[in-house]
A and B are shown apart, each in its own frame.
Chain A
Amino acid sequence: MHMKETTDYSPMQRYVLVALRILVGWHILYEGFSKLLIPNWSSIGFLNESKWLLSGVSKWIVSNPGVLNAVDFLNTWGLIAIGLGLILGLFTKPAAISGAILLFVYYLNNPPLIGLEYTVPTEGSYLIISKTLIEAMALVVLAVFPSGLFAGLDIFVHQYRNRNK
């Protein structure tokens, strides 16, 4: 399959995808910074609430302080790196894929399935599908389109790689 040229997309398609990328990037970047700015922030509360498939892994993380610290660190800085990548359009594809995986892991920790009760109230009404899952899917969409080449620093990366071919 040939890689489509960026000009194969209509201007509207390009604008919309870049806008989506920046909006999701903004949200993820702020999620990262908000954790960084809260003194002693930890994912322990979220992990303790974990239900369903990943509850065992979450309990293991919580019971190992070293692992918990590593998870907290990677989560915060991972969110910041993904957010920066999406806003700047730099390494957009890896950023979008990592973001989608991270959000999907969040989703698997507290999916709104029938019968799962959470002590922390959610801000919306969900049945199986939550906004986290939708945002993860939005990142999958961004991963399959070269939005970094429409507008973003990936243009320079692309030029640099072509020059060195």
Chain B
Amino acid sequence: MGKKEVITNSENKNDMTQQSTIKRRTLLKALIGIPVLGVFAFELFKKYTYDQEKRNRVIKELGLDNMKAPVIVKGSSAKSDLLRIGLIGYGNRAVSHANGLGYMHPEDVEAGKKNDTLKDWLAQEDLNVAITGICDA
């Protein structure tokens, strides 16, 4: 084996090592987000567990263990249970409450049509409430 050949072989070897180093570096650079995501997942789990424990502690302390959390009403198509309401006494206040819940006396509907306030009232979201009884002497 001549001297020149030996030099060429060692140059090839150097080239190959350099290439594999570049490949390894490229791979590491490409995958930089993976360990970050790992840390994120770990911290997310820690935070979630912490929040849940805190929430349960507060609920227990306030004695609200058996109460369901309120659900946001997203309007008429929300498939929540119908809320049945009964009113005891039907004075001015109750009229406002009933209006707020989506019920209006036919005379008030006519008045609303005349003074153009009915449209605003109708634009309110459907609260899925039923007035099942009114007790008024």
Residues of A participating in the B interface, judged by any CB pair closer than 8 Å: 18, 22, 25-26, 29-30, 33, 37, 39-40, 42, 44, 63-66, 68-69, 84, 87-90, 150-153, 155-156
Contact = CB atoms under 8 A, between A and B. Distances in A.
Nearest to B32: A151
Contacts of A153: 30-31, 33
B65 interface: no
B11 to A, nearest CB: 24
A30 B44 contact: yes
Nearest to A6: B29
Contact of A29 (B40, B48, B71, B76): B40
A55 to B, nearest CB: 15
A22 B33 contact: yes
B74 interface: yes
Smallest CB-CB A-B distances: 9 pairs: A88-B33, A65-B75, A155-B30, A65-B77, A151-B32, A151-B29, A87-B33, A65-B74, A42-B72
Interface in B21-54: 26, 29-34, 36-37, 40, 44, 48
Contacts, number: 60
Contacts of B37: 84, 87-88
Contacts of B71: 40
Contacts of B34: 88
Interface of B: 26, 29-34, 36-37, 40, 44, 48, 69, 71-72, 74-78, 123, 125
Contacts of B26: 155
A22 B36 contact: yes
Contacts of A87: 33, 36-37, 40
B21 to A, nearest CB: 16
Contacts of A33: 44
A90 B31 CA distance: 10
B40 A89 contact: no
A24 to B, nearest CB: 12
Given A89-B30, A155-B26, 5 more contacts: A39-B69, A44-B74, A65-B78, A87-B40, A155-B29
Contacts of B29: 150-152, 155
Contacts of B32: 18, 22, 89, 151-152
Nearest to A44: B72
B75 A63 contact: yes
Nearest to B76: A65
Contact of B33 (A30, A40, A65, A152): A152
